[in-house]
Amino acid sequence: MAITKEDLYKLIDQLNEAKIPFAYDFLKYLIQQDNPFKVYENMPADPLPMNDEEREQWEKKNEGELTSLKRLKKELGL
């Protein structure tokens, strides 16, 4: 599926007023960069695993998202 400028316009029309400056800045950034994600190519992985508190916060933030099989088995007592 090809994304058209019309598709982008429809998304922009759905933004609330508070998010318009962010969308503007991001689109401006994309236009100015040859490869806006190049900075991430050589970024090292985070050497520290999440602690329990960080994991809980992440899971709470992502509530309703997919759950790992390991976690699901733990919750079901399997």
CA atoms within 13 A on the CB side of 71: 7
- Residue 37 has a pLDDT of 75
- Residue 64 has a pLDDT of 65
67 contacts: CB under 8 Å, gap ≥ 6: 75
pTM: 0.42
Domain ranges of the chain: 5-40
- Residue 70 has a pLDDT of 80
Q: Is 53 helix (H, G, I), strand (E, B) or coil?
A: helix
- Residue 9 has a pLDDT of 93
pLDDT digits (tens, 9 = 90+) for 9-64: 999 999 999 999 999 998 888 888 777 677 777 888 888 888 999 888 877 876 76
- Residue 66 has a pLDDT of 67
